[in-house]
Amino acid sequence: MDRGLTLEGFDPDSSRQPAQAFRILVSESENEIAFHQHRKGQLILALHGGITCEVERALWMVPTQHAVWVPGAMPHSNRATANARLCFLFIEPGAVAMPAQCCTLRISPLVRELILHLAQQNEGDLSQPATQRLIQVLFDELPRQAVEPLHLPISGHPKIRFIAARLAQDPQQRQTLQQWASQLAMSERNLARLVVKETGLGFRRWRQQLQLIIALRLLIGGSSVQQVASELGYDSTNAFITMFKKALGNTPGRYLASLEPR
């Protein structure tokens, strides 16, 4: 059954079924669910468009044919692109060996179809032997899905969040670490140390990861490679393609082609 992003009137923790899935339709504007948590683990699969999931200290980008895994009891918020089509899969704690931390998974065609089939089942169908066998196949396959580096470490530190917010609002800006430090009334060395301490990445790598997440949202939304390169302030399209390929192992065009359902 297709639902709105809010899953209004539905409590995923009320059922003790090992797995439940629901297809989600997003309106013509971006849609957001504020911070919340479930007893159950949640897999958010992007069928069309994309979704960004924020958990403590990190943002996770979920492009088409990928899913973000959110372990049970982990507070998180979701923001979906306009007209996105998603599928939420809720899993009972301990039912399958999933990562203990949030992560982005590249979903195989088999797992995708199993989740979509499950989303078509009513509550009563979930207890049927045939459905239980399919759920077991799904649970066998889920731990084998490849993890992809589509996350941005963030922080509760106000200075790190200030930089992240400014870069997200205006990704073209090319302020150096020294310029940011001056704006924040810090030395360049102290700011560099703070970024590493709070995110685990150097400033340039951290900024590039944010740009990658923004680039994926724009590309999935239909922007051309040239438009995205310009939006992110790159001097040339080739420079943007080089960054993208180094990060994800493929050019933007080939990466997007790989996201198309097979």
Q: Do 190 and 250 lie in a common domain?
A: yes
Q: What is the pLDDT of residue 5?
A: 47
pLDDT at 115 over 70: yes
Q: What is the CATH number of the domain that holds 169?
A: 1.10.10.60
List the domain range (segments joined by +) for residue 185: 155-258
Does 102 share its domain with 169?
Answer: no
Is residue 132 within a helix (H) or strand (E), and if so which, with residue range?
helix 129-141
If asked whether residues 62 and 171 sit together in one domain, one would say no
Section 212-235 average pLDDT: 87
Q: Where are the strands (E) in the chain, listed by range? A: 2-4, 19-25, 31-36, 41-48, 51-55, 58-62, 66-70, 76-80, 85-91, 103-106, 146-148, 151-153
When the pLDDT of each residue in the chain is averaged and rounded to a whole number, the result is 85
The tally of domains found in the chain comes to 2
Query: Is the same domain home to 65 and 195?
Result: no
Note the pLDDT of residue 11. Answer: 66
Contacts of residue 6, Cβ cutoff 8 Å, sequence gap at least 6: 33
Cα gap 107→145, rounded to integer Å = 6
Residue where a domain stops, chosen among 148, 182, 202: 148
Last residue of a domain, one of 133, 148, 163: 148
Kindly report, residue by residue over 48-85, the tens digit of the pLDDT: 877 888 887 787 877 777 899 999 989 888 887 777 78
Tell me the three state secondary structure of residue 254.
helix
Q: How far apart are CA 219 and CA 49, in angstroms?
A: 10
pLDDT over threshold 70, residue 28: no
* Cβ contact 79:29 at 8 Å: no
pTM: 0.74
Of 56, 57, 60, nearest to 69 by C-alpha is 60
| Residues 217 and 243 occupy one common structural domain | yes
CATH number assigned to the domain comprising residue 29? 2.60.120.280
- Quick one: what percent of the chain has pLDDT higher than 70? 91
pLDDT number for residue 27: 63
Pair (165, 84) in one structural domain: no
Q: Are residues 186 and 237 in the same domain?
A: yes
Residues 34, 130 within the same domain: yes
Residues 76 and 118 in one domain: yes
If asked whether residues 189 and 139 sit together in one domain, one would say no
| Beta carbons of 60 and 101 less than 8 angstroms apart | no
Q: Is the pLDDT of residue 262 over 80?
A: no
Strand order in 103-106's β-sheet? 2-4, 19-25, 85-91, 41-48, 66-70, 103-106, 146-148
Residues 133 and 206 occupy one common structural domain? no
Got the DSSP string for 62-126? E-TTEEEEE-TT--EEEEE-TT-EEEEEEE-TTSS---SS-EEEEPPHHHHHHHHHHHT--GGGG
pLDDT interval class at 30 (50, 70, 90): low
Domain-ending residue, one of 148, 170, 200: 148
| Same-domain pairing of 126 and 205 | no
